[in-house]
Amino acid sequence: MKLTIVSIIISAGVVFSAILFANNRDSSGLPDKEPVAVSQVIDGKQVIEIKAKGGYTPREILAKADILTVIRIKTQGTFDCSSALVIPSLNYRKNLAPSGVTEIEVPSQKIGTVINGTCAMGMYGFSIKFN
């Protein structure tokens, strides 16, 4: 009897720990507090890659100011609300393909500019900070 009670308590603890661990992560399996990503320059353009599925990864990006920028949104089996992308400062609103790559050209931005993107429902978001 005591062994059964101990087994139930241990099992409940394992399940509870797994739930807490899962709630502190996004759909990519990365912790909520991920490091800030830095953009890369390819063929004279700054390219920012963001994955859209169950939110946006990375959520915070540092970018260079005063250079043409391309935001490259990658989807792979994305059927949640992160496929409905809104970037208000660019007047951009589009339903992304469930799988593929969507490129958004952004004119050069001044130092200190922040571009925010969200899903249509405002549940998920990302920000690009130009410095």
Tens digit of pLDDT at every position of the chain (131 positions): 666 664 565 654 444 444 444 444 444 444 455 557 888 888 889 999 999 999 999 999 999 999 999 999 999 999 999 999 999 999 999 999 999 999 999 999 999 999 999 999 999 999 999 99
pTM: 0.72
* Interacting residues of 76 by C-beta distance below 8 A, sequence separation 6+: 51, 53, 99
CA atoms within 13 A of residue 129's CA, in its CB half-sphere: 10
Q: Residue length, the chain? A: 131
